[in-house]
Every structure is written in C-alpha cells, then in structure tokens.
C-alpha cells in the first residue's frame, strides 16, 4: 500500500564446509569426461562438511559474521531454513540461537519445504517486520546436499549456508510486495525419514522446476508484478548452475524475448564452487551477483526459488546500497580458496562415515575451522561448541 514501510535484506553473509572436492578428479574416478560436469552441469567443485560440521555449525558461522556487522538489536525472531535437519523434533534454530549467544527473547523455529524453505523464511520474516517495523528477523538457510556415491546426483552435491537480517528500511535490497507463487504435489526429489541421501528422478525434477518457474511467473504477472523488460537481472535456485541457464532460456522462449544472460554469469561464481546448497543456493546466487555485477543501485532483480516436491516462488527487489562489493568478493573468494582439498578416496570415506548413529556416545575429531563445532553425541543428544 502507498506509504507502507519498505522491507527487505539489511545485510547477508555466506559460509561453507571445511572441505572441497575438485569435480575433475571425481570425473576421472567415475570414468566421465570432466566437461560433463564443468560444461554440462556448470559445476567445478563441491563443498563438503568436515566430521565436526553440519547445518547448525555452518549456519552459525554465517550468522555470527553477519551479526558482527549488523549487531543484534531489534532481532526477536530466528528462522532457520533447512532440508538436512539434524533432529525430527528440536529445531536447528534453537541450537544456533544458543551458539550465537542470542538473548532468550528471540523466538526460534525451523522451516522445511526442500530448497524453497529459504524463500519461505524470508517471506515469513517480511510478514513479522511488516507487523512491527522496529523488529528484525535473522534468517539462516543452511544445507548439506547428499546423494548416493556414484549416482547421477553425486556431482551436484554441496554444502553451505547464508544468513540474512530482514528489516524495515533495509540497506541492501528492498523486496517488493508482489510475488508469484506455485505449488504442486510431485515426487521429483525427496528424502525419506530413514535415509541420509536424497531420492531423485533427475529428468522429472528438471521438468518440475521449469513448470514451477512458469507457474510462479504467470502468477507474478497476474498479481500485477513487473514485466520482463522491467527486470534487470534474474537470479535462480542453482541445484547446478546450468539449471539456472536452462530455466532462463525456457522463460525467454516462452516470452518470445531475448533475456540477457550476463547476470547469470555473475550470479554463479560462488555456486560453481559450492555445489548445491539447497535452501541457501538462491541466496548464494544473490550474493554472487551483488559482488560481481558492478553498480546495481536502483536496479530490479527477480529471485526465483524452487523446492522439489514442489514449491516455486518469484519475488522482485530493488538494490539499494551494495556497500564494499570488492572487499566482500575478495573475502568470499579467499574463504573458498581456503577449503581443504580432499582426494576422491578420502571424500568417499567421509561420505560413508556421515551415517552417524545416536545409539552410542561418540566424539568427533576437531577439523572444521569456524570455531563452531558439532562435538559429538552424548546421551543420544547432539553436543556443540562455539568459539572460545
């Protein structure tokens, strides 16, 4: 409504796992042409969590770096989006809340709908801020993408987290009120309660993604949202970066328009090296765009989230002040460069050992460097440590 307070992303930060696997080495081991991964899927590397890392530690690492800049004043809600949750009942949010040392008067809850939950958390946060604009919401999206060894999904694994502060009068990105949504019950990708890896029908999932994209786009138009020529950059959920390109070309074809692909190059720099980060993937793409696209002040970006199963949503936002993009880019590239490389056999060993049972007490070795650690299991409960 006219005069309504603008709401959006005040600031955002990213984090990832301790390890990295070079996909050309994986291709060699699997007897596949490395170009299939680098060009066919658009992926160069994938992040892997160390034995003492999980969605909670990565999310806490992203959020603690973010809160150092924004402070915690006004934050009364923590929404944690993940589809690789570590408990069926207790939310990753309450554990992150403790690790971050947040005050008790912060409601903390986890959201799930495959990769879409990050978008759901942002929209829920906007609703909370609209109701009481002096409040802020900390949103964390964090995931570990795991498929079976030597399966088609294997090169599209990854790990990473994004933390965002959603506020009124945001410094970074003002999110516009109209968005397009689409839901359809389909079994394209899911993870049964008794499985640590996803079950996926790859072809079906790519079709379901494009269907949800068109469904959300048509709804955006029907609601009176901006047309394609009023949008300067599209950013998509990137299960592998080529998927964003396929989606963009699909939309271009349907619209009978030549939509610019340059922003896709700028939005895939981090994702090519992280792999799929599920709920965090779209927001890693946004971070990459904001760090690589030059001055976007006043420009409109469209963000499309897809979560298998399935839910799609496209929202639009106006970039305000990107801040020190060059400094952030250098820091984030240094973070990616600093990951410890794994040989393929060590990666396979780590993949197998991630099937951790809570039946007996155990301690995890100290590996990850963020200071936030999953220390092991005690009395069937997960134990965590934070930086001293």
Q: For the CB of residue 202, give the shortest distance to ligand HMG in the complex, in Å.
A: 2
The verdict on whether 115 is a catalytic residue reads yes
Q: CB under 6 A: which stretch of 28-36, 47-55, 158-166, 368-376 binds ligand HMG? A: 28-36
d(Cα 241, Cα 267) in Å, to the nearest integer?
9
| Nearest to ligand HMG of 139, 141 (CB atom) | 141
What tokens appear for 168 in the block?
């009124």
CB 250 within 8 A of CB 132: no
The backbone torsions φ and ψ at residue 106, rounded to the nearest 5 degrees and listed phi first, read: -130, 115
Residue 189 makes contact with ligand HMG by CB under 6 A: yes
Q: Which of 70, 77, 167, 205 is in the footprint of ligand HMG by CB under 6 A? A: 205
| Nearest to ligand HMG of 278, 374 (CB atom) | 278
CB 197 within 8 A of CB 331: no
Q: For the CB of residue 32, give the shortest distance to ligand HMG in the complex, in Å.
A: 8
Closest CA to 36 of 236, 242, 199: 242
* Annotated catalytic residue within 45, 83, 154, 268: 83
Binding characters for ligand HMG, 63-102, by CB under 6 A (x = yes): --------------------x-------------------
- Find the DSSP H helices in 152-278: 202-222, 241-255, 262-267, 271-274
| Nearest to ligand HMG of 199, 335 (CB atom) | 199
Which residues face 362 on adjacent strands?
377
Q: For the CB of residue 98, give the shortest distance to ligand HMG in the complex, in Å.
A: 27
Q: CB under 6 A: which stretch of 122-130, 205-213, 331-339, 356-364 binds ligand HMG? A: 205-213
d(Cα 221, Cα 234) in Å, to the nearest integer?
15
Residue 261 makes contact with ligand HMG by CB under 6 A: no
d(Cα 170, Cα 173) in Å, to the nearest integer?
6
Q: CB under 6 A: which stretch of 98-106, 214-222, 234-242, 349-357 binds ligand HMG? A: 234-242
Residue 35 makes contact with ligand HMG by CB under 6 A: yes
Q: CB under 6 A: which stretch of 34-42, 158-166, 253-261, 343-351 binds ligand HMG? A: 34-42
| Nearest to ligand HMG of 25, 375 (CB atom) | 25
CB-based contacts of 134, cutoff 8 Å, min separation 6 = 74, 168
Distances (CA, A) of 250 to 209, 247, 253, 273: 11, 5, 5, 24
d(Cα 83, Cα 237) in Å, to the nearest integer?
15
Q: For the CB of residue 112, give the shortest distance to ligand HMG in the complex, in Å.
A: 10
Q: For the CB of residue 39, give the shortest distance to ligand HMG in the complex, in Å.
A: 4
Binding characters for ligand HMG, 300-329, by CB under 6 A (x = yes): ------xxx---------------------
Which residues face 7 on adjacent strands?
168, 175
Q: Which of 101, 127, 152, 323 is in the footprint of ligand HMG by CB under 6 A? A: 152
The verdict on whether 110 is a catalytic residue reads no
* Annotated catalytic residue within 19, 237, 248, 351: 237
Residue 239 makes contact with ligand HMG by CB under 6 A: yes
CB 187 within 8 A of CB 311: no
d(Cα 221, Cα 224) in Å, to the nearest integer?
5
CB 291 within 8 A of CB 325: yes
CB 102 within 8 A of CB 75: yes
Residue 177 makes contact with ligand HMG by CB under 6 A: no
Task: Give the chain's radius of gyration (CA, Å).
Answer: 20
Work out the number of other CB atoms within 10 angstroms of the CB of residue 317: 22
Residue 47 makes contact with ligand HMG by CB under 6 A: no
**Binding interface with ligand HMG (CB under 6 A):** 33, 35-36, 39-41, 83, 114-115, 152-153, 156, 189, 200, 202, 205-206, 209, 237, 239-240, 243, 276, 278, 306-308
Catalytic residue ranges: 83, 115, 237
């Amino acid at each position: 409504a006219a005069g309504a307070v603008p709401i959006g992303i005040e600031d955002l930060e990213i984090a990832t796992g301790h390890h990295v696997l070079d996909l050309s080495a994986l291709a060699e081991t699997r007897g596949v042409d490395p170009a299939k991964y680098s060009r066919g899927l658009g992926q160069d590397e994938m992040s892997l969590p160390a034995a003492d890392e999980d969605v909670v530690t990565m999310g806490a690492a992203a959020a603690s770096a973010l809160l150092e800049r924004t402070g915690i004043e006004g934050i009364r809600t923590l929404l944690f989006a993940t589809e690789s949750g570590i408990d069926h009942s207790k939310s990753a949010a309450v554990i992150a809340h403790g690790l971050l040392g947040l005050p008790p008067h912060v409601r903390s809850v986890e959201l799930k709908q495959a990769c879409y939950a990050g978008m759901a958390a942002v929209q829920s946060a906007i609703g909370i801020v609209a109701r009481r604009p002096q409040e802020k919401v900390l949103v964390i999206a964090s995931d570990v993408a795991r498929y079976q060894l030597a399966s088609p999904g294997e090169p599209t694994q990854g790990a990473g987290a994004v933390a965002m502060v959603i506020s009124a009068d945001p410094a970074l990105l003002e999110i516009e009120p109209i968005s397009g949504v689409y839901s359809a019950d389909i079994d394209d990708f899911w993870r049964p309660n008794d499985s640590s890896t996803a079950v996926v029908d790859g072809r079906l999932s790519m079709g379901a993604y494009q269907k949800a994209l068109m469904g959300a786009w048509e709804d955006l138009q029907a609601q009176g949202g901006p047309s394609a020529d009023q949008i300067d950059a599209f950013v998509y959920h990137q299960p592998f970066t080529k998927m964003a390109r396929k989606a963009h070309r699909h939309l271009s074809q349907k619209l009978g328009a030549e939509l610019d692909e340059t922003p896709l190059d700028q939005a895939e720099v981090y994702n090519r090296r992280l792999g799929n980060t599920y709920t965090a993937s779209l927001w890693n793409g946004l971070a990459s765009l904001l760090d690589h696209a030059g001055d976007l002040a006043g420009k409109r970006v469209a963000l499309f989230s897809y979560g298998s199963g399935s839910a799609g949503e496209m929202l639009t936002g106006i970039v305000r002040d990107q801040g020190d993009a060059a400094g952030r880019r250098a820091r984030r590239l240094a973070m990616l460069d600093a990951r410890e490389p794994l040989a393929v056999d060590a990666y396979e060993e780590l993949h197998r050992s991630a099937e951790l049972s809570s039946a007996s007490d155990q301690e995890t070795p100290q590996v990850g460097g963020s200071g936030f650690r999953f220390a092991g299991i005690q009395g069937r409960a997960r134990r965590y440590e934070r930086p001293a």
